Amino acid sequence: MGPRTGERAEGNGEGAVKPLVGCCGFPKARARYWERFRAVEVQATFYQPPRPATLRRWRDEAPPGAVFTLKAWQLITHPSSSPTYRRLRDPIPPERRDRYGFFRPTDEVWSAWERTREAAEALAARAILFQCPARFRPTPENLEHMRAFFRRIDRGPFLLAWEPRGAWPPERVRSLCRELDLVHAVDPFASDSATPDRPYWRLHGKGGYRYRYTEAELAELAGRCLGRDGFVFFNNLHMWEDAARFADRLAAGPADPP
């Protein structure tokens, strides 16, 4: 069993700042997960936030020093036509379907933020991720809604990360992250981060979910994130194995790619 990986590494790189490593969701039982990793990105909050009591129990079950991040509820970011809405506990009334997602200035989106913040507080989360679908494009209306949303919310102590998808010009992403104080969540093998000093990396698998990362790729990734204390979360079919191999590589300290 390898060491749990956190901000400070062990071994050859003792004392070096390194990112927290983990998975998007719990691919194993929570007790076993925490034996191996120190951070997790909770996915359940995206589909239907669990009750605060449930999330507080997850928090209490975790070992000292465990770090949670979570995905914001899909009602904030995704329109009601998204197939992920099938996992909602209560269906959306047909007459209100156009009031959800894309950071729209509606009571429904605002209520979804309140539920998200409540979940983050229950977990004592360090960060909240807003993942947008590819259909959320940089149109004037979407930009206006996004700016209004992030300027209005009470951020509390949370770092806010934003993962745009689709055709977003890099300079537009950089300017919005700077303007709205957001961290750019990105797959580092797909595109460059607009906020490289504050990495929030989500690895979805090269070319698809079934991808397994090579040792050379993990070595390259380790070299790119040394000296930074962000997050590296794996979100592929082999996330447990790949994240563990990457955590071991980070704990061993700097090394040349094989």
pLDDT level of residue 111 (50, 70, 90 thresholds): very high
- Overall average pLDDT of the 147-169 stretch: 96
- Overall average pLDDT of the 48-74 stretch: 98
| Cα–Cα distance for residue pair 6/189, rounded to 1 Å | 22
At 197, phi and psi to the nearest 5? -80, -10
pLDDT level of residue 251 (50, 70, 90 thresholds): confident
pTM of the model: 0.92
Q: DSSP secondary structure string, 149-200?
A: HHHHS--TT-EEEEE--SS--HHHHHHHHHHHT-EEEE-TTTS--SSTTS-E
Q: Over 60: is that where the pLDDT of 37 sits?
A: yes
Domains and CATH numbers, the chain: 11-252 (3.20.20.410)
pLDDT tens digit string along 83-107?
A: 999 999 999 999 999 999 999 999 9
Q: Over 90: is that where the pLDDT of 11 sits?
A: no
pLDDT value of residue 254: 61
Contact 102, 85 (CB under 8 A): no
Tokens of 181: 């104080």
pLDDT level of residue 216 (50, 70, 90 thresholds): very high
